[in-house]
Amino acid sequence: MDNIIDKISDISGENIYACYQCGKCSAGCPSVEQMDILPNQVIRLIQIGRVELALKSNAIWVCASCFMCSVRCPRGIDLSKIMEALREIHLREDIDHIDIKDVRRENVYELPQIALVANFRKQTG
């Protein structure tokens, strides 16, 4: 398990263990209402070695990479990079998070193409 924690640290460049769970990241996160677990809980799961639960959470996909958490963190942790590292690890297993066949036809016509492209870049490997 240390291995995967090292991998998250390597990909993100962040010190997972610097977090002392103050919750300021979650308090300022604009996407938190759509998340099944809070951003500070994502980093806590990694600290205690339950990375598989962090990888299963929808929080890592809902994260909009807005950097609000990194601006607010008193420990200087960029949590958006940790979220990105978790998505990378998931996608490197060759497991896409969404399937183009699941996108409703009306959404394909209604959504801006740039939104669709950005979404597929983020959620498929």
Cα-trace Rg, the chain? 15
Q: How far is the CB of 111 from ligand SF4 (least distance, A)?
A: 20
**Interface residues with ligand SF4 (CB under 6 A)?**
19-25, 29-31, 39-40, 43, 63-69, 72-75, 77, 79-80, 83
Residue (22 or 117) nearer to ligand SF4, CB:
22
Q: Which is nearer to ligand SF4, 17 or 107 (CB)?
A: 17
Looking at the Cβ atoms of 21 and 124, the one nearer to ligand SF4 is 21
- Report the alpha-carbon distance of residue 65 to residue 73 in Å, rounded: 15
Helix/strand/coil (H, E, C) string of 66-98?
CCHHHHHCCCCCCHHHHHHHHHHHHHHCCCCCC
Minimum CB separation of residue 29 from ligand SF4 in Å reads 3
Nearest-angstrom CA–CA distance, 90 and 125? 9
